[in-house]
Amino acid sequence: MAILSKTLEADLKALNMSFNLINNSDYRCEDVSAKDADEITIYDYNNGIDFKSFRLPQKKLVDIDWVMNKYNSERVYKSFSEDFKKLLLLKGYKNSINVYPTTYGIGIFVAFGHRDSLREMKADIDSLMVETGIDFRNEYSDAGYVFRYKISKSKDNIEKMKQTNINN
Q: In angstroms, how far is CA 81 from the centroid of its own chain?
A: 10
Domain ranges of the chain: 3-62, 74-162
Q: What is the DSSP string of 53-71?
A: EEEPPSSSEE-HHHHHHHH
List the pLDDT tens digit at each of the 168 positions of the chain.
788 999 999 999 988 899 999 888 876 767 888 888 889 999 988 878 888 888 899 889 999 888 888 887 767 777 778 777 877 887 777 766 778 787 778 888 775 555 667 788 888 888 888 988 889 998 887 767 788 888 887 888 878 877 776 554
pTM for the predicted model, two decimal places: 0.55
